[in-house]
Copies of this chain bind each other. A is one copy, B any other.
Amino acid sequence: MASETKGLTLVFTGSGKGKTTAALGMALRAWGQGMKVLILQFIKGGWKYGELKAAEKLGPGFEMRQMGEGFIKDAGESGLEAHRQAAQTALAEARQEVREGKYDLIVLDEINYAVHYGLVDLADVLEIVRVKSPGLHLVLTGRNAAGEVVELADLVTEMQEIKHPYAAGIPAQKGVEF
């Protein structure tokens, strides 16, 4: 197999479970290959312990920053403003890290969702995708990915929810959901 190196833009979207999880798996695979990985989480903050603990245990080369404000659906008017500010800070950091080129793979977790909710501008996200260095793998997750993001991406998977345990009244499980 010819090994031509090209940084890909990958999008995991859709309503089903597995978007962030696949991004984590991709980060793990890249880390296994000795690549430097950064995961910037846009919406989540403070409850996804499993992945945070894992990142801490993996140590250098696998970095995770939770920059969100948690569940956005619970946010009122003022809460939404806090979400917006947090997302803007995360966006600025994403822009800087993509420019600086210290990482081989960067995950912008839930950024599609952040665009959908109007927390960040689509134009800013498209710019990040366009200016990234050719060698960088960029992963954008979150439901409701914009058509323009899909257009720019090399790989897009839609995770469709066929069945979810919440529907059967089963609460979130350690190691699976958090």
Binding site for B on A (CB under 8 A): 1-8, 10-12, 14, 16-18, 20-35, 49-58, 104-105, 137, 150, 153-165, 168, 170-176, 178
The answer to whether A32 touches B54, judged by C-beta atoms less than 8 angstroms apart, is yes
Chain B proximity of A104: nearest CB distance (Å): 7
The answer to whether B30 touches A28, judged by C-beta atoms less than 8 angstroms apart, is no
Q: Contact partner of A159 among B10, B11, B153, B157, CB < 8 A?
A: B157
The answer to whether A174 touches B28, judged by C-beta atoms less than 8 angstroms apart, is no
For A10, give the chain B residue with the smallest CB separation.
B176
Chain B proximity of A114: nearest CB distance (Å): 20
Beyond A156-B163, A159-B159, list 19 extra A-B contacts (CB 8 Å).
A1-B171, A5-B174, A10-B176, A11-B163, A12-B18, A18-B159, A21-B26, A22-B159, A24-B25, A28-B50, A32-B52, A32-B55, A32-B56, A33-B50, A105-B175, A137-B175, A155-B164, A157-B159, A157-B161
Q: Which residues of B contact A14 (CB under 8 A)?
A: 160
Q: Which residues of B contact A18 (CB under 8 A)?
A: 12, 18, 22, 25, 157, 159
Q: Contact partner of A24 among B29, B51, B153, CB < 8 A?
A: B29
Q: Which residues of B contact A20 (CB under 8 A)?
A: 25
The answer to whether A23 touches B25, judged by C-beta atoms less than 8 angstroms apart, is yes
Alpha-carbon distance between A156 and B159 when the two chains are bound, in angstroms:
10
Query: Known contacts being A20-B25, A25-B25, A32-B53, is A6 close to B173, with CB within 8 Å?
Result: yes
Query: Known contacts being A24-B25, A159-B18, is A1 close to B172, with CB within 8 Å?
Result: yes
